[in-house]
Amino acid sequence: MLKKHKGFSLVEILIVVGIIGLILVILVISLNAKQAQLRDLQRVKDVRTLQEALQVMKNETGSYERSYCSPGIVSRCSSNNSFDLLKLLPNLKNINDPTESAVGCEKDDTCRNQSCNYTFTKVQDNDYEIRFHLEKGIENFPSAGCYIATPQGTRKL
């Protein structure tokens, strides 16, 4: 007489656990890609905000130099309380790369290969450059890498 066993065999349980594990791995990879995309969106938004504020300052004062920002990480400009850019962007000290990187984007290799903080590389009377890094690319910036924002627009380094 054959005995009927109730329940699952060890092989069946291992197959189900393996499938669930594979689904979880796919979900984590997908989530990481979406997080990088969201960080890139924030970067583009931050840089556009900086560009708009710099343009307003230029229109009002006649010069980008009135920001009194020297080359370096953008948020560090907020330590100089006497400059016009802080009046337009009171939260300037909080405008940092979403990864909160302490490394600036002034070096070409750093900016091309890893997340780095938004950096002024030039601030002159009629010109400025802000460098920033994108992880994946987004919108009009189709690939990862280093980008330079100027009064004329934004381009890849």
Q: Is residue 11 part of a domain?
A: no
Residue 119 is assigned to a structural domain of this protein: yes
Does residue 14 sit within a domain?
Answer: no
pLDDT tens for each residue of 38-83: 999 999 999 999 999 999 989 988 888 877 788 889 888 877 665 6
Residue 3 domain-assigned?
no
Beta carbons within 10 angstroms of residue 132's beta carbon: 25
Does 20 reside within a domain? no
Above 70 in pLDDT, residue 132? Answer: yes
Residue 22 lies in a domain: no
Domain of residue 126 covers 40-156
- Say how many domains are in the chain: 1
pLDDT at residue 138, as a whole number: 87
Are the CB atoms for 105 and 133 separated by under 8 Å? yes
Residues 6 or more apart whose CB falls under 8 angstroms from that of 97 comprise 39, 43, 115, 116, 117, 118, 132, 133
Give the DSSP H or E segment for 15.
helix 10-61
> Cβ(134)–Cβ(40) under 8 Å?
yes
Q: Is residue 17 part of a domain?
A: no
7 in any annotated domain? no
pLDDT in the model for residue 5: 67
Taking the model in full, what pTM does it have?
A: 0.79
Per-residue DSSP letter, 138: B
Q: pLDDT tens digits for 112-129? A: 999 999 999 998 989 999
